[in-house]
Amino acid sequence: MDVVTQRPLRLALVGNPNCGKTALFNALTGTRQKVANYPGVTVERRAGRVTGHHLDAEIEVIDLPGTYSLRAHSADEEVTRDVVTGRFEAEAPPDGVICVVDATNLRRHLRFVLELKGLGLPVVVALNMIDLAERDGLDIDVDRLSHLLDVPVVPTSALRRRGLDMLIGTVETTLAKPPVAEPSDGTRTSASASPGDAAPSRRDLRALQAEAKRIAAQAIRAEGREHALTRRLDAVLLHPVAGPVILTVLLFLVFQAVFSWAEAPMNWIDGGIVALQGLIARTLPAGALNDVLVDGVLAGVGSVVIFLPQILILFTFILLLEMTGYMVRAAFLMDRLMAGVGLNGRAFIPLLSSFACAIPGIMAARTIDHPRDRLTTILIAPLMTCSARLPVYALIIAAFIPDRQLGGLANLQGVVMFGLYLAGVVSALVIAFILKLTLSRGQAQPLIMELPKYQIPSLTTLAIGLLERAKIFLARAGKVILVVSIVLWGLASFPGPPPGATEPAIFYSIAGWIGRGLEVVLAPIGFDWQIATALVPGMAAREVVVGALGTVYAMSGEVTEASLAGTLRSAWSLPTALSFLAWYVFAPQCISTMAVIRRETNSARMPLFVAAYMFALAYLAAFITYRVSSAFLGA
Amino acid sequence: MRNGDAAQRLGSLQPRMCGRVVGLTGADPCTDGGDPVTERLRELGFEEGASFEVLHQGPVWGDPMAVRVDSVTVALRRREANSVIVNLTVETDAVQVGAVEAG
């Protein structure tokens, strides 16, 4: 390849699942990465840049989905296969491939190296997790391994940042050499092999497996001890009694932490926004601009940004559970229960991700091989309590549920929050069961998954994951919520009140009209026209309703307290608040989720179906909650 | 099947039992036993001669099970595990066997 052309070198990072590929990618590229979607398919394209070691040029690294073999079983495995074989239209074939191999699991991972070699692309092997291998007493003859494979091998450790420079340097040297004319098996001439030719046949696979075994046996000088810690941890964490208890306690602690740890930073943000509102109100001349900034923009955006600490805490836990390898154990523990409702344990991971956001959750369902299981998972994922519901729950709970200790162990607010999460989970399981009996009857699908060794989480990967989430959340607050807040302010301000009006101005505005129209339908569940008004922009995204309530009440002149929580406390009855919570457990108030369901299922009917069943559930739940609590509390 | 007498299905075993894989039964023997389940099992290391040990089982009805096969631990349901035909190592204390293999 001509170096003078200055097109950056493009490398694909591939490997088996659980080989530490993503950690290595993060260690190489740091924050210089871009996440997007491949057009047409819903597989994440993760690309980053790294500065060359010898040549002072940028190198683009693409992190491809992990796969056990080029014989793809699922949508993201197909992307990996198609990119490295040059059959993927949206991605030019890479100049070379870094195959990440788990040093502690050489036999199996080498088979994939051999498969890749057959493609004729330059391959460099990153012998990753070498630190763990050494600790376990495993001794690999790297030179011999490289010789036997006939490709360069570089020992690396993403966690300890070992071998990274050398890896890049080796890749550059390898690519600088003239390409090897013939691929190793001599049958394929280039990466543009005809479709069907790229993936090895089953017979090839067995031959490669035997060869991988032979190479591993020759390259390993001393077999390591078994990873004793993983075994000991699993004896407890997968114990038939202790395991489920620990899982429940762990999830419970996460939700307690989300509440208590976030309190201080949330107060700072709140204080900052109130101060800013005061400053603008004082310095700008009174008028429309002053109003739109204070009541529209700051009230709307501010009441959402405040939930950033809680979302980051929740994501910290989810990412940590994923990185340490516990998430797969949770799937193991949950599998039998999930099978009871026609799902498999693998669905636990998309569903747990949906606690953060249904969109990555629905996309993560791609890892489920079977179309029917995948569809069921997609249809119930929006019932998992996503982080966008968190601002809504947090606001209402803070306003209406007393901050009281229960038996010195738990906090009542935390218990209510946990209950709301539980309600989402239970209803999802019930819906899945109903789907199993009706829409998606059939045989149980297999569960086969690797239980990787427990690992110390990489702080770089955690930091990058959190940064990505914070960016997405703030971008949404910045764009969607900003626009919605301003539009809502406009709708709520015009037309102005008639002379001699007895109600607040918003009552006579367009927003008031819409709200009062909806009130007819929503009155039986305890919602007044102000709530109804806020629900409309709340269709864009769940957390928007918080900002919208902020705007609506600010403009109703019913702001009796400094905070929105205080305002709601004086405006709503307790049954209304509870009914509102019940509504938000189910209501499909998220356009993006509907869009992603449409894209993932490739059907316009599916999102409509989801919206219909969720609205029905929401109305029913809110109705029952409102009626029952009114009867008990005498509202 | 070779070792017909001692051969058992992996799905019928209990934790701490160990031995070697004898073969995989696929849906259709003519196509190299190649249904997706056996194919994936093979990819994960269940192949003739591999040593295994049943490590854990799920909390409800002992399903799924976690099986160490060579150096990898795989979780699978008993139903899928039944495609794996195994020979048990002569009944010994599992801890002792583990110690011998590690040494």
The single residue listed with the structure tokens 């905070």 is: A563
Cα–Cα distance for residue pair B71/A138, rounded to 1 Å: 12
| Percent residues over pLDDT 70 in chain A | 88
DSSP string, A204-238: HHHHHHHHHHHHHHHHEEEPPPP-HHHHHHHHHHT
- Is B40 within 8 Å of A68 when comparing Cβ atoms? yes
Cα–Cα distance for residue pair A236/A584, rounded to 1 Å: 37
Cα–Cα distance for residue pair A277/A270, rounded to 1 Å: 11
Q: Is residue A292 scored above 50 in pLDDT?
A: yes
Q: b/e string for A10-43 if b means 16 or more Cβ within 10 A?
A: bbbbbbbbbbbbbbbbbbbbeeebeeeebeebbb
- When pLDDT is cut at 50, 70 and 90, the band that residue A439 belongs to is low
Q: Which of A195, A222, A249 is the last residue of a domain?
A: A222
Q: Which residue has the higher pLDDT, A372 or B26?
A: A372
Cα–Cα distance for residue pair A390/A548, rounded to 1 Å: 15
Determine which helix (DSSP H) or strand (DSSP E) holds A153, and give its type and residue range: strand A153-155
How many other CB atoms sit within 10 Å of the CB of residue A73? 17
Distance between B96 CA and the closest CA of chain A, angstroms: 14
Does ipTM surpass 0.90 in this model?
Answer: no
Cα–Cα distance for residue pair A353/A351, rounded to 1 Å: 5
Q: Is residue B28 scored above 70 in pLDDT?
A: no
Model pLDDT, residue A125: 93
Q: Average of pLDDT values for A403-410?
A: 75
Nearest CA in chain A to B31: A202
Chain B neighbors of A140, CB-CB under 8 A: none
Q: Does B94 touch chain A (CB under 8 A)?
A: no
Q: Is residue A629 scored above 70 in pLDDT?
A: yes
- Is B74 within 8 Å of A444 when comparing Cβ atoms? no
- When pLDDT is cut at 50, 70 and 90, the band that residue A621 belongs to is very high
Q: Does B35 touch chain A (CB under 8 A)?
A: no
- Residue A570 within a domain: yes
Determine which helix (DSSP H) or strand (DSSP E) holds A563, and give its type and residue range: none
- Residue A255 within a domain: no
Facing B74 at nearest CB: one of A205, A234, A450? A450
Domain range for residue A514? 467-633
CATH number at residue A161: 3.40.50.300
How many other CB atoms sit within 10 Å of the CB of residue A563? 17
Q: Are A74 and A368 in contact (CB under 8 A)?
A: yes
Model pLDDT, residue B97: 44
- Is A73 within 8 Å of B58 when comparing Cβ atoms? no
- Residue A612 within a domain: yes
**A408 burial class (0-12, 13-18, 19+ CB within 10 angstroms)?**
exposed
- Residue A174 within a domain: yes
Q: Is residue A628 scored above 90 in pLDDT?
A: yes
What Cα–Cα distance (Å) separates residue B30 from each residue in A21, A397, B22, B26, B27? 37, 63, 18, 9, 9
Cα–Cα distance for residue pair A526/A530, rounded to 1 Å: 11
Model pLDDT, residue A153: 93
Q: Which of A187, A222, A257 is the last residue of a domain?
A: A222
Q: What are phi and psi of B65, to 5 degrees?
A: -120, 155
Model pLDDT, residue A423: 92
- Is A230 within 8 Å of B74 when comparing Cβ atoms? no
Q: Average of pLDDT values for A307-314?
A: 78
pLDDT tens for each residue of A564-612: 888 888 888 899 999 999 999 999 877 778 877 887 787 889 999 999 9
Q: Which of A205, A222, A239 is the last residue of a domain?
A: A222
Cα–Cα distance for residue pair A175/A9, rounded to 1 Å: 9
**Across A8-17, A181-190, A456-465, least confident range:** A181-190
pLDDT tens for each residue of A326-336: 888 988 998 88
Mean pLDDT of chain B: 77
- Tell me how many domains chain A contains: 2
- Is B102 within 8 Å of A447 when comparing Cβ atoms? no
Distance between B55 CA and the closest CA of chain A, angstroms: 8
Q: Which domains, and CATH codes, for chain B?
A: 7-102 (2.30.30.90)
- Residue A506 within a domain: yes
Q: Are B19 and B89 in contact (CB under 8 A)?
A: yes
Q: Are A73 and B41 in contact (CB under 8 A)?
A: no
Tell me which residues of chain A have a C-beta less than 8 Å from any C-beta of chain B: 68-69, 71, 73, 104-105, 107-108, 202-203, 205-206, 209, 225-226, 230-231, 234-235, 238-241, 243-244, 328, 331-333, 335-337, 339, 345, 369, 444, 446-452
Distance between A188 CA and the closest CA of chain B, angstroms: 23
- When pLDDT is cut at 50, 70 and 90, the band that residue A6 belongs to is low
Chain A neighbors of B32, CB-CB under 8 A: 202-203, 206
- Is B75 within 8 Å of A71 when comparing Cβ atoms? no
pLDDT tens for each residue of A194-235: 444 556 777 777 788 888 888 988 888 887 776 678 888 998
Q: Is residue A24 scored above 60 in pLDDT?
A: yes
Asked if the peptide bond before residue B64 counts as cis, ω within 30 degrees of 0, the response is: yes
Q: Is residue A625 scored above 90 in pLDDT?
A: yes
Nearest CA in chain B to A444: B79
Facing A336 at nearest CB: one of B44, B61, B68? B61
Nearest CA in chain B to A74: B36
Reduced to 3 states, what is the DSSP secondary structure of residue A96? strand
Cα–Cα distance for residue pair A243/B62, rounded to 1 Å: 13
**Across A601-615, B26-40, B43-57, least confident range:** B26-40
DSSP A71: S
Facing B32 at nearest CB: one of A202, A238, A448? A202
- When pLDDT is cut at 50, 70 and 90, the band that residue A254 belongs to is confident
- Residue A179 within a domain: yes
- Is B74 within 8 Å of A339 when comparing Cβ atoms? no
Q: Does B29 touch chain A (CB under 8 A)?
A: no
Locate all alpha helices (DSSP H) within A438-543, ordered by sequence.
459-476, 482-493, 510-522, 529-535
Facing A450 at nearest CB: one of B72, B77, B79? B72
- Residue A342 within a domain: no
Facing B75 at nearest CB: one of A239, A240, A451? A451
- Residue A457 within a domain: no
**Spacing of C-alpha A134 from chain mean position:** 33
- Is A234 within 8 Å of B66 when comparing Cβ atoms? yes
The single residue listed with the structure tokens 């039986």 is: A524
∠A14-A19-A24 over CA atoms, to 5°?
A: 70
